Structure 1
Amino acid sequence: MQRKWWKESVVYQVYPRSFKDSNGDGIGDIKGITSKIDYLKELGIDVIWLSPVYKSPNDDNGYDISDYQAIMDEFGTMEDLEELLDELHKRGMKLMMDLVVNHSSDEHNWFVESKKSKDNPYRDYYIWKPGENGQEPNNWTSFFGGSAWQYDETTDEYFLHLFSKKQPDLNWENPKLRKEIYDMMTWWLEKGIDGFRMDVINLISKADGLPSAPGGKRYDWGGEFFMNGPRVHEYLQEMNREVLSKYDMITVGECPGASTDDAIKYANNEDTELNMIFTFEHMDIDSGPGGKWDLKPWKLKDLKEVMTKWQKDLEGKGWNSLYLNNHDQPRMVSRFGNDEEYHDQSAKMLATFLHMMQGTPYIYQGEELGMTNVRFDSVEEYNDIEIKNMYREKVIEGKEDHQKVMEAIYEKGRDNARTPVQWDDSENAGFTSGKPWLNVNPNYKVINAKNALENKDSIFYYYQKLIQLRKEYDIIVYGTYDLIMEDDDKIYAYTRTLGEEKLLVICNFSSETADFVLPEHINYQSANLLISNYEQNSEDISLIALKPYESRVYLLK
């Protein structure tokens, strides 16, 4: 196993709009992030992943970029970003920027030019097609609902947008466009940033001829024609040769629909493409056949199956990223734990479960405080374009039951992750002195950083200890993973092995007591308890009566 700094790091995702506002306009900003670096340093994290701060009309909260080399006015200036970078580097921390190059904003100069005429030099920077019999060029559906095509009457053609119609897809077939992207990436790396998280990077290659999805419906899905497309590895290998290989940096690709086989191609040991990817399989275990908003209860056996597959299939061949929530996903303690009766215990258990696996852990802002999902009274209080589009389609146009759709939003809506970070119990949770762009979760009086830092038994300090253990024990980073008690429907237990050492990780995923029985094949002379979310005094590990959401990690020798 090759040692790499990014394998040994812990990454913390900052969603800047919701992190900390420094000037009272209700919107988080770069100076706000800089003011909290010491908080993150105390937590122990190595890398900040900064969600987009580039110039943007903000149709999709910054994931629609109109200038890749300028900063959004609401977030501050380039000088502010340079100061943030400098302050991080002074403390031995690194900065990973978001790279959004599957699409741009329709207000980017490239697109403004592209739509002027069919012979414009920038026309081929995007994907344009004439209609078919008065309809869209094919039946692909946007990730945000509706057709993935938008008609533009200037040239009587449609452009492709896999996301919002203000996010036209870039045409990676065009070598001039690719060179512009590589030059822009190099410009940022020369400025001193330490890596890129690449937004939906496995969508950049579309199938030849852009065929319609089978099924004949006007709006069908079509994902098989734009996910993990025919030239995606060619493009990423070129990107690696032209840019990535020249820097000691961290890269992670967001890759919806990628299998473990795909992951090994994207994130192989030869470093020809990326360091690691984000998988979504474990994020789909509570989705029914109708997709994300079709709620179904998740089962522990499904989580075991998915996580074990990714751990074992990538073993020795690729590298995992480890996460249970991010800016697009609900809060993990609300989704996989118990955010009421066993709030602290289940938050700590989930952290243990994740951080003891092989891979690079990603903490999403507020996770270390146990921040929870939110239940706003009305759909008007939500901001997210995906939520608003879905509500319109299902309730206003589709006449579905309002309350049923609201329950789906409460469970899965992206704004669950985007409510402002809860710093203290003052008005607006200390996030802003103004009116926040999105309402604060009402539970901020109890769940906040000030309370956490004053309580040595808090979730914050538990995360701090998990991160310290990772730096002390190579086995946590490099040990191989093996599932035990596979059929148990309450306990998720596994081992990690490195040389003569073994790590035993035991997690009770239920609000009931559960009996852990040590499998006979696990032999040991001594068992040293490294971390637990309950006070421990028992030494015998052959049979343990686990309390609700209890977790323990032992080093066996």
Structure 2
Amino acid sequence: MYHVNTDDKYNKSLRYQIKKRKENGMEKWWKNAVVYQIYPRSFKDSNDDGIGDLEGIYEKLDYLAELGIDVIWMSPVYKSPNDDNGYDISDYQDIMEDFGTMKDFDRVLEKAHRLNIKIMMDLVVNHTSDEHQWFIESKKSKQNQYHDYYIWADPDSNGKPPNRWKSCFSGSAWEYVESVGQYYLHSFSRKQPDLNWDNPKVREEVFKMMTWWCDKGIDGFRMDVISMISKYPGFPDGEEAANGYTEITSFDGPNIHQYLQEMNKKVLSKYRLITVGECPGVNAEQAKKYANIDGSELDMIFQFEHVSASPSIPTHYGKWDALPMTMPELRENFTKWQNALEGCAWNSLFQSNHDQPRCVSRFGNDSAQYRELSAKMLATAIHFQKGTPYIYQGEELGMTNAYMDEIEDYRDIESLDAYKDLIENVHIPAETVMGYLKAIGRDNARTPMQWDDSENAGFTTGTPWLKVNKNYKEINAACQVNDPNSVFSYYKKLIHLRHTNDVMVEGKFDVLIPEHPKIFAYTRTFNEKQLLILCNYSDTETIIPEEIQEKISKAYCILIQNYEKAEKTILRPYEAIVYEINY
């Protein structure tokens, strides 16, 4: 027989254990950590202007301490004209007025450290804002000392851009500037010119800025699209895209590892940091170089295969008409990455962030009947894999897509540009395009955090910068924090288990029943211990195969489950259960 482990020692010893690990300088401490992403504009407004701010983060740090997380990844708070919600930076060593002051940031940092929570900054150095002083100087003349801080190219023989690259935000990736008679590259918005990392002065400036933040006391960097900083010579066109454009080929360029190793040597290796690189376009083999076990570059990377399109269903309009992977496709992808990086690199575990739709809406079932069950199931499937888990704000509450009906309610530049482009240039009906935005638009993740059932979900008493999800009265932190059966409490227990169970951190991953259409099953094994993880990704009851039932018969403990009682032979809709096995 087995029993459900409800020992209070997880709660009582957690903070002490984590504190001692940090004090003792535990090597690669981030392996045991759980990271929580804050999107500041949508987290908590303290001054009633409708925009989240640093003081709001300060006020809610105790909530995050209660959840048990170790690290806050803070999306950009630097000075910015806010064309892309802060990912267009005009001054790396100042704070955007919307968010407060540097003094406010220092208060957040001090209180977080007092609560044994680390702060990881969002490092955006593939590009700056076009209002950054470097770019203002760069476009004055070709002779200006800052001109080569950015990527400029002469027009072709017809006066057009040097290639047909399509910006990630629609339209050409090149913008002409009359004063220098050249085009500059912007992989994203035209107000986000790409830096020229081949210029050693640019690298020197970036490393100097990073050192300044490290000396201030921050604990790490999440590096935005870092796999794009090295461009291929000649700017070769990529695969054909819509409207005569081609895809950008600025991924995993020829000098990327030289630059990251230089960054590591001059900055990262001198501090006890956590580093994660956002690496679109990087596969599992390439990831071993970025996050290699020798620590010469980064600690881990974000790859996006599992949150991208199903490989079995063709797309015609990039991400917009893409359907999510099926469970068998997800299982295959998870297994590939777990096996590929075993013993040689480290995985980042996530299913949500500020650029993705809400995971319970994308991969689970956000109906009233199954939202909580599927949110817990998805969390189980991710958190028990090998790697460092990342939680996006509101994920721990089971927040859902907003499904906003009017284009006027959207704020995301990517969504607004795509809406215009797909309707005007590709001639897709507006109703169809709106369906794309409801399913996968980035504003789904950016609606304000749902704190309670008061007006505007307790986020602000002003007018929120983005509409609050209309389901906030049913889904909010206040009704979950003290409910032992809530999604919040389930995430809290998952975090506690990671802090106290070595198998969750170090155990080898092995997939089971890899052909099953509904059940994602795997084991984690370390020394003499083994965990058996079972997740039903469907809304129907399914029989547990006999080979798995045999393993269950050897179980002596249920670590966590999302139904009150376990059934030995079946998994109910969206059921998740984790057994500890005699091994």
TM-score, structure 2 as length reference: 0.92
Q: Which one of 161, 168, 180 corresponds to residue 143 of structure 1?
A: 168
Residue deviations 1:62-101, cap 9 Å, x none? 0000000000000000000000000000011100000000
Report the 3-state secondary structure (helix = DSSP H, G, I; strand = E; otherwise coil) of the residue aligned with 1:349. helix
Q: How does 1:154-553 map to 2 (within 5 A)?
A: 154-213=179-238, 219-223=244-248, 225-286=249-310, 288-290=314-316, 291-296=318-323, 298-340=325-367, 341-519=369-547, 522=551, 525-536=554-565, 541=568, 544-553=569-578
Identify unmatched segments of 5+ residues in structure 2: 1-25
Partners of 2:452 and 2:472 within 8 A in 1: yes
- Paired with 2:244 and 2:220, the residues of 1 have a C-alpha distance of 37
- Paired with 2:141 and 2:234, the residues of 1 have a C-alpha distance of 22
Report the 3-state secondary structure (helix = DSSP H, G, I; strand = E; otherwise coil) of the residue aligned with 1:453. coil
- Paired with 1:158 and 1:217, the residues of 2 have a C-alpha distance of 21
Q: CA deviation at 1:284?
A: 1.2
What percentage of residue pairs aligned between the two structures are identical? 56
Match of 1:22 in 2: 46
Identify unmatched segments of 5+ residues in structure 1: none
Residue deviations 1:325-348, cap 9 Å, x none? 100000000011110120100000
Superposition RMSD in Å: 1.6
Residue deviations 1:487-533, cap 9 Å, x none? 11111110001112110000000000011125278597443100000
Match of 1:50 in 2: 74
Residue deviations 1:144-185, cap 9 Å, x none? 111110001111110000000000000000001100000000
Partners of 2:163 and 2:237 within 8 A in 1: yes
Deviates more, 1:54-63 or 1:282-291: 282-291
Partners of 1:484 and 1:519 within 8 A in 2: no
Match of 1:126 in 2: 150
Q: CA deviation at 1:454?
A: 3.5
- Paired with 2:324 and 2:341, the residues of 1 have a C-alpha distance of 28
- Paired with 2:465 and 2:330, the residues of 1 have a C-alpha distance of 35
Equivalent residue letter for 1:281: E
Distance 1:199-1:214 versus aligned 2 partners, 3 A rule: closer
Partners of 1:140 and 1:219 within 8 A in 2: no
- Paired with 2:427 and 2:299, the residues of 1 have a C-alpha distance of 46
Q: CA deviation at 1:409?
A: 0.6
- Paired with 2:179 and 2:309, the residues of 1 have a C-alpha distance of 44
Distance 1:46-1:215 versus aligned 2 partners, 3 A rule: closer
- Paired with 1:216 and 1:42, the residues of 2 have a C-alpha distance of 47
Report the 3-state secondary structure (helix = DSSP H, G, I; strand = E; otherwise coil) of the residue aligned with 2:196. coil
- Paired with 1:522 and 1:402, the residues of 2 have a C-alpha distance of 52
Q: CA deviation at 1:4?
A: 2.0
Partners of 2:77 and 2:99 within 8 A in 1: yes
Partners of 1:368 and 1:460 within 8 A in 2: yes
Deviates more, 1:454-463 or 1:115-124: 454-463
Deviates more, 1:452-461 or 1:161-170: 452-461
Equivalent residue letter for 1:362: Y
Distance 1:138-1:294 versus aligned 2 partners, 3 A rule: same
- Paired with 1:239 and 1:314, the residues of 2 have a C-alpha distance of 23
Partners of 1:139 and 1:218 within 8 A in 2: no
- Paired with 1:219 and 1:195, the residues of 2 have a C-alpha distance of 41
Partners of 1:15 and 1:50 within 8 A in 2: yes
- Paired with 1:9 and 1:214, the residues of 2 have a C-alpha distance of 39
Q: CA deviation at 1:216?
A: 11
Match of 1:4 in 2: 28
Report the 3-state secondary structure (helix = DSSP H, G, I; strand = E; otherwise coil) of the residue aligned with 2:119. strand
Distance 1:33-1:136 versus aligned 2 partners, 3 A rule: same
Deviates more, 1:177-186 or 1:524-533: 524-533
Q: How many residue pairs are counted as aligned between the two chains?
A: 551
- Paired with 1:297 and 1:51, the residues of 2 have a C-alpha distance of 25
